Structure 1
Amino acid sequence: MSDRVHRTSFSENEVLRRELRIRSRDLFILLHDLRSYAQLNYTGFSKITKKFDKVTSSALRSTYMTETVHAASAFGEAAQNRLRKHMEAMAYAYGLAAQCTSLDDALRELKQCLREEVVWERNTVWRDMIASERMVDAVGVQSPDLQGGLQKSRRITNTQRQMLRLSLCTVVFGVAWAVPLFSGVEQQRCWAMLVYVSLLWATEALPLHVTALLVPLLTVMLGVMRSPAKSHQSLGASDASKAVFSAMFSSVIMLLLGGFALAAALSKHDIARMLASWVLSRAGSNPRTVLLANMLVATFASMWISNVAAPVLCFSLIKPILRTLPPGSTFAPCLVIGIALASNVGGMASPISSPQNIIAINTMHPAPSWFQWFAVSIPVCIMCDVCIWLLLLFVYQPNKSTPAIHQTRFTSERLSRRQIYVCIVTVVTILLWCFESQLAFVFGDMGIVAVIPLVLLFGFPTVLGKEDFNNFLWTVVMLAMGGIALGRAVESSGLLHELAGRIENIVDGMPVFSVLCVFCALILVVCTFISHTVGSLIILPIVSEVGARLPEPHSRLLVMGAALMASGAMGLPVSGFPNMNAIMLEDTLGNPYLSTMDFFKAGIPASFVAYAVVVSIGFVIMSLLGF
């Protein structure tokens, strides 16, 4: 018993000694920087006044330095003595923690740390200066008339382009309305609306969320909804509006809002950054290991804060690495595109990691539990990340141009009470989502569980406030609501039943695996060129209906496979937000890290890798789980 107590006490002392060593070292570096800053300013005042005296033939320097500069508290002898004593105190504390034999040994080790800081900063400071110069150069003066004319011309050009796209979409809508392809009136009208909305989304003639808001308006005005009774009578405008609005705000929307709340809290209170930097600090200095670590961090971050916020976080974490790379290093584009592709893969990882997963859950009956989703997605994501990592090593060969890189630093910090509170709320919410089927008698649905983090996080303004609520991605919420309304209209009109019947004739006799391969290939092509969310909104309801009509119904398997594949479409710069963010990333000289060719040689093969993993490993796991 005494030995165990002794070992526990010894380990606690080791932890405290290590924490003291890190904190005293960091404070010593900060105090040294403060002293250097004061000395630099003193030298600056001296040189400026000397230059002033030389140019103006005056004698200001001696008087100004004596009466003003020397009299300032920052440059006084008392301040310098206090600073020196504080530095000696930190050196003494460091010596105790590091068990140095003398104060001189402690100072020697601390100066070595200072030398490492100088070596690293010396390589980056010139790039920071050039970046500042670029921002200054971007500010110019132009004639107001000329500037206004240019802006007006550009505005007219953009408006004309938008009106042209809108006009073409409207013409196609008229053709789809006039050409009879279906026997039912509601089906024909809904087909025209489906074509119109799909074209508006694909061409972005209107913003995506505006097109989504157009869906309930067209649904009611065109009279596409029918009564659920066997008579299938056309619903009037009043009944149709009630039906479409009741469908739009579903439990899936609450799940989306709950995910946004968790993501906002994890980001605002630095929990996501701390966890990511802790992982990266242990990746070492080997480019191959650092690349894999960053990719896994991007995938894991996408799982909880969405694959929209995750690449932004990860790109901010790798900036110190990118700034220290030598010119022409292939590791820079390799690392940037690796994070982008891994963030796309992370869109598969959890039900809240991307909107297409929310759409899939809304389409699947019964909806999968979080545990079932993780059982499929996590092995698929890990295998995709590893295969894409090997692909990037083969394409870019980063170790040849960059044998070693600057290691990411992590300063251990004690979690605050707010951070602990956020972590507890997050873990409890995720556990409730995972065991939702067992707790259905209490909560009924995952959407009700999503209310818990909204209340607990926004109930205390110090955790999340009104501004955080206003900063939710409401455009994504509107897009999801419009997609649900479109799905309800297509189903109610009978168009979904008719389309599924025609596709069923094409895939008739095919095994489930072949049908999965066909639909995954279809959604891969579609989502490569248009938004992952839009492609899922259009295709997943059809996939679900076709799956339900198979001799052995596997609707849930086909829908989940297609939803995973939607996130795996990453072959072009426009294929998903992570790719769009990566293609816009520039170095301090204004040069982009990536070009379209990078996506051709890495993104397209990565899409095929994801396709192979989903239809192989994903299919096997979903079959074993009884999807």
Structure 2
Amino acid sequence: MKFSHSIQFNAVPDWSSNYISYSNLKKLIYSLERQINKPQGEAQDEENTSLLGGSLDPDTTFKRMLDSELDKVCSFYRLKELEIFGELDQFLKDAQDYEAETQDVNMDDVVDTENQRRMSRSQSVFNAPFRRKRRRSTMSVSFEEPELEDDSDSDAEDSAAMLKKKPSMKPRSKSAFQTTPDLSGMAESREDLRAPDTSPSFLRRRPSLALELDANDPGQVSALYDSGITLKKRAISLYVSLCELKSFIQLNQTGFKKATKKYDKVCNRDIRKNYMEKVVNPSYPFQEATLGHLEENIAKVEKVYADIVTKGDQDMARRELRLHLREHVVWERNTVWREMIGIERKAQAANLGIRQTLLGGGQDPSRVRLQGDRDASESKEIVTPVGRYRCPRWLFSSTFFTLVTTLAIFLLLLFVPILKKPEQQNCFAMLIFVSLLWATEVIPLFVTSLLIPFLVVVLRIMRSDDKPHQRLDSKAATKAVFAAMWTPVIMLLLGGFTIAAALSKYHIAKMMATFVLSKAGTKARTVLITNMFVGMFLSMWISNVAAPVLCFSIIQPMLRNLPADSNMSKALILGIALASNIGGAASPIASPQNIIALQNMKPSPSWGVWFFVALPVCIISIVLIWLLLLVSFKPGRGTTIVPIRPMKDKLNGVQYFIISVTLVTIVLWCTSHQLEGIFGDMGVIAIIPMVLFFGTGILTKEDFNNFLWTIIILAAGGLSLGRAVSSSGLLHTIAKSIIENVEDLSVYGVLVVFAALVLVVATFISHTVAALIILPLVQQVGASMKEPHPNLLVMGSALMCSAAMGLPTSGFPNMTAIMMEVPETGVRYLHVKHFLTRGIPSSLLTFGVVITVGYGLMVATGL
């Protein structure tokens, strides 16, 4: 959680305006950063000049703001301390008076006596309506209606006190005003409360001193009881206030540390140590003596609480007070957190509305509903010959009509005979059905994947391997389809996620990236290509989903110091997105489509072979895209670049361990073919980092739960689809018909055809979905050719899946890039036109590299 959110979450709501204004300090830091990095001689902005108070010294300006915040915090603390300590002094005096009054009185008897009186009153009130109305006489005892009592102190009177047994042979509760119920014998206690006291008089306890006092002065026992309850409540309230005061000191001290640290980091200064030691720490709230005095007062409250409530047991008193504090904070935080979430949701809804306007209404309004539209009617009235009816509005949305149309096509293909064999007919209908669901995304992609094993079993699509013409029954088909969903390839994907999580969690990837980017200098063309190669490299190891997010966070200082409409900003963001797409082909674990390709390649190529083919293709493609961006954006014109500073943190033992395990795992993956006799498959090698990272506590179960399980389910569903299509014979039938049309083409011609097909399909739908649908077909076509080269065709098509980047929706990096906004205005850096004019040419350039350089390298490796 960011500290600006944390300070809101942990602050006392009534004191919120008196904490350090961390958000305002951050805004000032970024303004000073822009001021520092302005070229010399450039005219100063009036807004910045007024912000600096006419001074151009950023250190003086920032310290002046810090001094103002410090004065605010110190003034409030002194006033609040005076108020709370005054209440504490009065509380201690009242506690002494109370102890003097109760010096010779057994408070257990007082509590028992008062509880008996109050229970008898409550029982009389409960039973009064059911009693017969008796005629008054001199012999009858008059019934007095109980006085109405204030229930505001019901928590102080305690459920435990109400559960306390009537005087009996059992031992007493340890505390006179105990709040924790005694669970032993609770059932008997409840029964005792319900039943009248019918025990013989000689077994009843003799009247105590408290009862004698009550007989002589009926109000004295009640007064002592109420005084004890009041003191207990005051002790709890004071304990909470003192702890809040202590939290106020700690939160603000942390805020000053973080603000000065951020200023040093962003503006490349070094004021933190000096300012904290000479200004903040000597201030009254942050002195050790102040905190020590506060701790002493907390201890005094604990002692008084122990004397009054827990009969001198300070450990129990401390536990009870902390429990009360915890309940108070939980309730308070729950309230504050709900308000914060509400504000955040409203802001997101407003931003969503702006984005919809900027996108020109390109998204289906049935999928996105603004906050202000929730009050609108969610039903629609329709008129029929038999009357008027109100139907849910979603029934009239384009999403619902798309789903209905897809289902209609599925049913039509099931019953209209197209293929001779029923299993192939059913498989063809299922293939078209799931392809349409994936392409239109009317339901989530992973949900469609979960449908595949269900349809395979119900439609009896799979056939026996031993008897190719015999369809499997439901039980056998279930085992076969689920076995296809969990393969070594899925373990390889999990191993890749594990390495990515470790590199990202311990900032190793960020340290490497900032180190490389710090060497790029300030020339626009050098900075651009360096960022693109960093994006490609990170995509190889932490996936092309996480890599652009990390890169965009690293270049934030650079973007803040560029004008909002700068061509350099556009080129930088678009360049990282396109390079991350290309990087998705650079290693077998970089993207799900590569995992699917490995599953369809028999035998699977080693990592060394993959690198030999993919790295030159990716490097050449990125260089060509870089030239395209330089020519089209001309980012060097009037651009002043702020260099990125490397992280100064030194590698620790855990980080060295993570790097060592990652390198060893990669080496084993690269030599997996030579080690088949030991490990069998790359999926088994993937278990090594999982066991070492999760087993040693470097990664936790929360990290495991945060894996992209939707991607894993999507890949597993695709594997089961490929197995079903192959088992039914449909794949062979389709491949045979395609071969008849391309039989005159060479392997190179077939590669060009399929690479172009994949490029078009993957541009409009997900790269992973395109691979799921097309790669099994490509493998079957390649295996059925006169000169079989299935691995060559599959790898070429897999490389083209990552090269499809002509639209904002063509891949995760593009989706991330299109949503990047200028912080001050909320306006997006990129628009759809930028992807059309640069993304499509980039895809065509990569297509040319794959069918030339890539083809030559694949032939050289013998694929």
Whether these two folds match at TM > 0.5 is yes
The 5-angstrom pairing of residues 334-483 of structure 1 reads: 334-402=571-639, 404-461=640-697, 463-483=698-718
The question of 1:41 aligning with 2:69 is answered: yes
Q: What is the SS of the residue equivalent to 1:573? A: coil
Report deviation, 1:84. Answer: 7.3
Shift of the 416–496 alpha-carbon distance from structure 1 to 2, 3 Å rule, reads same
1:206 CA displacement: 1.2
Quick check: 2:520–2:526 contact (8 Å CA) kept in 1? Answer: yes
Tell me by how many angstroms 1:162 deviates: 3.0
Aligned partner letter, 2:69: N
Task: For 2:552 and 2:446, locate their aligned partners in 1 and report how far apart those are by CA, in whole Å.
Answer: 27
Contact map agreement 1:330 1:401 (CA 8 A) in 2: no
In the TM superposition, residue 229 of structure 1 has moved relative to its aligned partner by 2.3
C-alpha distance 203-146 of structure 1, shift in aligned 2 (>3 A): closer
State the alpha-carbon separation in 2 of the partners of residues 559 and 287 from structure 1.
38
1:230 deviation in Å?
Answer: 4.1
Q: Distance in 1 between matches of 2:486 and 2:615?
A: 29
1:98-144, Cα deviation, whole Å (9 max, x unpaired) = xxxxxxxxxxxxxxxxxxxxxxxxxxxxxxxxxxxx98994999xx9
For residues 544-577 of structure 1, give each alpha carbon's deviation from its aligned partner in whole angstroms, at most 9, with x where no partner exists: 0111111111100000000000000000001011
Aligned to 1:62: none
**What letter matches 1:359 in structure 2?**
I
How far off is 1:83 after superposition? 4.1
| Cα distance, 1:150–1:432 mapped onto 2, change above 3 Å | farther
- Write the deviation string for residues 204-236 of structure 1: whole angstroms up to 9, x where unpaired: 111000000000000000011111124520110
TM superposition shift of 1:176: 1.6
- Distance in 2, Cα, partners of 1:328 & 1:145: 30
Q: 1:605: Cα distance to partner?
A: 0.3
Say if 2:512 is the partner of 1:512: no
Structure-1 separation of matches of 2:800 and 2:442:
26
What root-mean-square deviation, in Å, do the aligned CA atoms of Structure 1 and Structure 2 show? 3.1
Unaligned runs of 5+ in 2: 1-56, 77-248, 254-270, 279-342, 351-369, 381-391
Tell me the alpha carbon deviations over residues 12-47 of structure 1, each in whole angstroms, 9 at most, x when there is no partner. xxxxxxxxxxxxxxxxx9999995554232566899
The structure 1 residue matched to 2:444, chosen from 198, 204, 207, is 207
Q: Structure 2 matches for 1:170-569, cutoff 5 A?
A: 170-402=407-639, 404-461=640-697, 463-569=698-804
State the SS of the aligned residue for 1:593. coil
Q: Does the aligned pair in 2 maintain the 1:31–1:83 contact within 8 Å?
A: no
- Of 210-219 and 147-156, deviating more is 147-156
Q: What letter matches 2:767 in structure 1?
A: H
Structure 2 match to 1:60: none
Listed one character per residue, the Cα deviations across residues 221-257 of structure 1 (whole Å, up to 9, x for unaligned) are 0011111124520110000001101111000000000
Superposed counterparts of 1:127-138, under 5 Å:
138=347
Q: What CA deviation, in whole Å up to 9, does each residue of 1:37-95 have, x standing for no partner?
A: 542325668999xxxxxxxxxxxxxxxxxxxxxxx9999xxxx9x947968xxxxxxxx
Structure 1 residues 271 and 151, CA gap change in structure 2 (3 angstroms): farther
Identity %: 50
Are 1:572 and 1:603, in contact at CA under 8 Å, matched by a contact in 2? yes
Higher fraction of helix? 1
SS at 2:636's partner residue?
A: helix
Whether the 8 Å CA contact 1:329–1:401 is kept in 2: the answer is no
- Kindly provide the amino acid, as one letter, of the partner of residue 752 in structure 2: C
Kept in 1, the 8 Å contact 2:585–2:799? The answer is yes
Partner SS state of residue 476, structure 2: helix
1:509-564 Cα shifts (integer Å, max 9, x gaps): 21111110000000000000000000100000110011111111110000000000
Work out which structure has the larger RCO, using CA pairs closer than 8 Å and 6 or more positions apart in sequence.
1
- Give 1:146 deviation, angstroms: 6.7
Question: What's the CA shift for 1:180?
Answer: 2.1
Distance 2:274 2:617 in 1: 56
Q: Bigger shift: 615-624 or 408-417?
A: 408-417
Is the partner of 1:586 in helix, strand or coil?
coil
CA distance in 1, matches of 2:845, 2:485: 35
Deviation at 1:158, TM superposition (A): 8.7
Distance 2:700 2:393 in 1: 40
The Cα shift of 1:278 comes to: 0.6
Cα distance between partner residues in 2 of 1:608 and 1:231: 42
Matched residue of 1:219: which SS? helix
- Higher-Rg member (1/2): 2
Distance 1:140 1:164, change over 3 A: closer
AA partner of residue 494 (structure 1):
G
- Name the residue aligned to 1:25: none
Aligned to 1:149: 375
Task: Tell me the SS of whatever aligns to 1:149.
Answer: coil
How far the C-alpha of 1:199 sits from its partner, in A, is 0.4
Write the letter of the residue equivalent to 2:635.
Answer: P
Change (3 A) 1:454 1:31: farther
Counterparts in 2 of 1:401 and 1:328: CA distance versus 1, 3 Å: farther
CA contact (8 A) 1:35 1:83 kept: no
Task: Return the alpha-carbon distance in structure 1 between the equivalents of residues 615 and 371 of structure 2.
Answer: 58
Structure 2: distance between partners of 1:145 and 1:304 = 39
Q: Is the 8 A contact 2:565 2:829 kept in 1?
A: no
SS at match of 1:400: coil
Tell me how far apart the structure 2 counterparts of residues 305 and 393 of structure 1 sit (CA, whole Å).
28
Question: For 1:37 and 1:337, how far apart are their aligned partners in 2?
Answer: 37
Describe the SS at the equivalent of 1:398. coil
Q: Which letter maps to 1:601? A: T
**Does the 8 Å contact 1:347/1:354 carry over to 2?**
yes
Q: How far apart, CA to CA, are the structure 1 residues paired with 2:349 and 2:802?
A: 42
Q: CA deviation at 1:413?
A: 2.2
Note if contact 2:585-2:594 (Cα within 8 Å) is conserved in structure 1: yes
| Distance in structure 1 (CA, Å) of the matches to 2:579 and 2:587 | 14
CA distance in 2, matches of 1:316, 1:449: 32
Question: Structure 1 pair 158/374, CA: closer, same or farther in 2 (3 Å)?
Answer: farther
Q: How many residues are aligned here?
A: 524
TM-score of the pair, normalised by structure 1 = 0.79
Q: Is 1:593 paired with 2:621?
A: no
Distance 1:552 1:396, change over 3 A: same
Partner of 2:398: 161
Q: 1:396 to 1:47 in 2, by over 3 A?
A: farther
Corresponding letter in the other structure for 1:149 = D
Residue type of the alignment partner of 1:236: D
Contact 2:349 2:371 survives alignment (8 Å): no
Paired amino acid for 1:625: T
- Asked if 1 retains the 8 angstrom alpha-carbon contact of 2:346 and 2:371, the reply is no
TM-score, normalised relative to structure 2: 0.58
What letter corresponds to residue 421 of structure 1 in structure 2?
F
Q: What SS is found at the alignment partner of 2:520?
A: coil
Which stretches in structure 1 are left out of the alignment for 5+ residues?
1-28, 49-71, 88-133
